[in-house]
Structure 1
């Protein structure tokens, strides 16, 4: 029987109710929490990266440290073992069921981690106590159930948590590296003791350093070992989906055995990845966070990675090598481990040894928390000795009795894990409303904005922005019948609160949206400062940044910086603008969109750089690194009597077209676009201060770059509107005389 051959002390029939219970809870939580695995996937990555970590929050670990320390044992070793066993039990079609189930089960980790933080306890010493036993006792008022869980969890820790990882390391040392005896177990035990003596802070730090290295080594070894042996991936997917659909045809025919096999195989995968046991929740409970839901959202990434990445890679490799049953798995494993000790195999062994250390350290902390909960601090010391003894004792027994002992320990560990999962899974159903309330509180505290922002930036990155802008430009230029056009123009004006009293024409006189957008102002609507040394605003806009250029770096607020050479396009005038000054103007749809000369001078030429057409609102500017140099730009170089000025006109989404008055041939954002540079050597093009220089067809940004040592800013209102003609600073001294 496969049952007794696989694990002598595990009844595989128990995996069916375990899996069905997992699936039921996953479905329930998915719908109750409104598909958090879809809504918050990008937010989870953002929190995990540390982007939303606040040092003033309570807790001991940052989000990534808690993630690695809590899921290190399942992220790679557990997922690999579970995938191989699932393939043995149910064939390659089980992969589809692992994908589907992983998607539905992701909210389990969200709820368990959220509850662990919500009901954690902080001692006077600053130490945090957390884990399922605390939310079972405090929220459900069932101390007896919490004690039962802790007792089962302690036994699981001593078998699945300490024995299984050390036995895996011993197996690799013996068969892969030909290191006999207790050498490797002793070394691993010493490293683990060093790590756990530093408490959860050291466990978290070591895990966050080692886990990425282990993952890189694993993926590297996978590529090097299997790249020449992997079969056609499309054929693999076709076979997987074909076999996965067989349970449906079997059900229609009145049979159920194959469907049960799939539930057993999938259940084995999730038991191997510790789903529902609550181990990762205990570590999540000490995370440094301002919201219980944040680490819960991050925790879902573990199930996603295990089910969609590791399971796919493992089953793909085994399928390509013709692995179908337990015997062929053993043969594949021995061929893999006993092959030549090259760099690929060394990388594989190193990755497993690294994750063995992380797994043992994480399980040690879990057991310590449970021992303290039941018996207090004194027994916790006894437990620590017992844990190390179980490490060395298990390794010694493996040296003496071989693989049979390894299988027996695995069977015991899996059986105890099934028992441990029962009270946790029951609690997740009963306490889903508490996790839901924490999620709602987090979203109302500003997370909604973060989700919208991430989705918005992703959308900006993948959309064909130039094509969309061209199409929008065509629509904006359409001359529709007056009874259609006038309501559109009035609605546009009302939506953006445009001051129609300043417009040169009445609203009904504009023939298209674009014509209205590029409207002229009435005579006298703006007054330009006539002082010769005054530099004036070229546009009606909000000043979003100004200051000194540090060599060639323009640094704006929130750490957004731009390279001067990239911005002005080339070296021709670069030396004059180094260490100069800059000022940035943002034009919203509300603003008048013609551009005027900031000073009297001669136009030396222009530089045109085709580029993207990202929006230039604050969200995009601070969310997309180096946005202005990425966008389409037309730079006019103006020689004034006081120094050189670059007027940078940045294109933006929608029409994104820029026109200038001094050269009618220049039209940006056309179908065929190439970089162009023009010097007006043979013609003198003079322009008065305040005279029209160009226009935007839909909104964008203007940046003025001023030659070094020529200019001083006025007292400017940052993030407030100025109108064109308003003084923004003064030139220092006249350096040449231009014809008037």
Structure 2
């Protein structure tokens, strides 16, 4: 590890993470065009890949509005092939591949188990010997995430936790980091019992907040509600589900009937809507039986 990487780790993980995160959450919501412009200018000094020219608007009232920016229409087309699971977000692909029984990796030499990340043992069991893809959203990236398939969400399992940085440096130093951090477990019902999919968005330091359009309030360090949150939201593939209020991670779990697309390898960049996993096409009759032909019931505040 270089001196710069060591300094990055110390600054983001040895400081009081909770209080720093609460402060940043407050600061990012301040509505001041001048302060926002200054903050973005400082941010751009450290993030040369911040592409605000892709945003749907040119000026932001707050830093949070910039973090959660929408993009111009058409910039994230969704792979419409019925056998393809598309990426839910823009990301750098971290660890990915086969799950060995119930064991997978956050980084080389740093294993964790399905049951340690997913508190529902029955749900975790579906992904034994399946596949996983870790998608890391840098702070400069587009922070909104989308449905990777036609699906319905009936429950969110919120797991409160820490706010460790989820960058590669921390992943190589902190064991079972994802299992320690605040996260949400979201099973996607697609009407295909053998083709299970689950998303696990993991929050991180600074603005550890996840907003789902189908839940009444954000899930963050101030949340004091129940952990099992019932809902009934249907999504078409590519439809927006929510957003992070800062960069973080989404781990995609797929049962063993899926396979990773050939181009998915550790370290590549991927955009929301691009092919991530493939399976067999969904028969039209089964699609009708799944109930997904109904009008979506998600309340989208786009």
Shorter-normalised TM-score: what interval?
Answer: 0.7 to 0.9
Where 2:121 maps in the other structure, the secondary structure is: coil
CA distance in 1, matches of 2:207, 2:182: 12
**Contact 1:657/1:696 (8 A) holds in 2:** yes
How far is the alpha carbon of 1:618 from its aligned partner?
0.4
Deviations 1:636-680 (A, max 9, x none): 11012442211111000001111101112342221x546601344
Give unmatched runs, 5+ long, in structure 1: 1-445
User: Paired residue for 1:531, among 81, 97, 101?
Assistant: 81
State the secondary structure of the residue aligned to 1:728. Answer: strand
**Residue 118 of structure 2 is aligned to residue 571 of structure 1:** no
Report the equivalent of 2:260: 713
Instruction: From 463, 467, 473, give the equivalent of 2:25.
Output: 473
Corresponding residue for residue 96 of structure 2: 546
Runs of 4+ in 1 over 6 A off after TM superposition: none
**Higher fraction of strand:** 2
Is the alpha carbon distance of 1:478 and 1:554 closer, same or farther for their aligned partners in structure 2, counting shifts above 3 Å?
Answer: same
Measured after TM superposition, the shift of residue 619 of structure 1 is 0.4
Change (3 A) 1:486 1:579: same
1:489 paired with 2:40, answer yes
Question: Contact 1:609 / 1:674 at 8 angstroms: preserved in 2?
Answer: no
Alignment of 1:115-514 (within 5 A): 448=3, 453=6, 457=9, 462-480=14-32, 482-493=33-44, 495-497=46-48, 498-506=50-58, 508=59, 510-514=60-64
TM (normalized to structure 2)? 0.87
Residues of 1 paired with 2:245 and 2:12: CA distance?
20
Structure of larger gyration radius: 1
CA distance in 2 between counterparts of 1:731 and 1:521 reads 29
Cα 1:461/1:557, change in 2 over 3 Å: closer
> 1:371 is matched with which residue?
none
From 147, 165, 172, give the equivalent of 1:597: 147
| Separation of aligned partners in 2, 1:483 and 1:725 | 34
1:549, distance to aligned residue in structure 2 (A): 1.1
Q: How far 1:543 moved relative to its partner?
A: 0.5
Secondary structure, aligned partner of 1:550? coil
SS in 2 for 1:719: coil
Question: Post-superposition shift, 1:500?
Answer: 2.1
* Secondary structure of 1:543's aligned partner: strand
Q: How has the CA–CA distance of structure 1 residues 555 and 462 changed in structure 2, closer, same or farther, with 3 Å as cutoff?
A: closer
CA distance in 2, matches of 1:460, 1:476: 17
SS of alignment partner, residue 578 of structure 1: coil
Deviation string 1:558-588 (CA, Å, 9 cap, x unpaired) is 2121211121222241221222111000111
Q: 1:462: how far off?
A: 4.8
Residue in structure 2 matching 1:612, options 146, 153, 162? 162
How many angstroms does 1:591 deviate by? 0.6
Asked if 1:520 is matched to 2:70, the reply is: yes
Deviation sequence 1:691-722 (CA, Å, 0-9, x none): 111100111001001123x2111111420211
Q: What residue number does 1:153 align with? A: none
Distance in 2, Cα, partners of 1:447 & 1:591: 25
**Structure 1 residue 456: deviation in Å?**
5.6
Mapped to 1, the partners of 2:15 and 2:38 lie a distance apart of: 30
1:545 Cα offset (Å): 1.6
Does the residue aligned with 2:184 lie in a helix, a strand or coil? strand
Mapped contact 1:603–1:638 kept (Cα < 8 A):
yes
Taking only aligned residues, the RMSD between alpha carbons, in angstroms, comes to: 2.2
The answer as to whether partners of 2:69 and 2:142 remain within 8 angstroms in 1 is: yes
CA contact (8 A) 1:610 1:675 kept: no
Higher helix share: 1
Aligned pair 1:650/2:202, yes or no?
A: yes
Structure 1 pair 461–729 and aligned structure 2 pair: CA distance change class (3 A): closer
In the alignment, the residues of structure 1 paired with residue 266 and residue 2 of structure 2 have an alpha-carbon distance, to the nearest angstrom, of 27
Alignment partner, residue 184 of structure 2: 634
Q: Which residue of 1 aligns with 2:105?
A: 555
Counterpart in the other structure of 2:296: none
Give ranges in structure 2 of 5+ residues lacking alignment: 294-302
Q: 1:494 to 1:468 in 2, by over 3 A?
A: closer
**How big is the shift at 1:457?**
4.9
1:692 to 226, 240, 243: 240
Count of paired positions: 284
Q: Distance in 1 between matches of 2:117 and 2:163?
A: 15
- Superposition pairs for residues 54-133 of structure 1, below 5 Å? none
What does the per-residue CA deviation read over 1:59-113, in whole Å, with 9 as the maximum and x for residues that have no partner?
xxxxxxxxxxxxxxxxxxxxxxxxxxxxxxxxxxxxxxxxxxxxxxxxxxxxxxx
Query: Closer, same or farther in 2 for the Cα pair 1:685/1:653, shift >3 Å?
Result: same
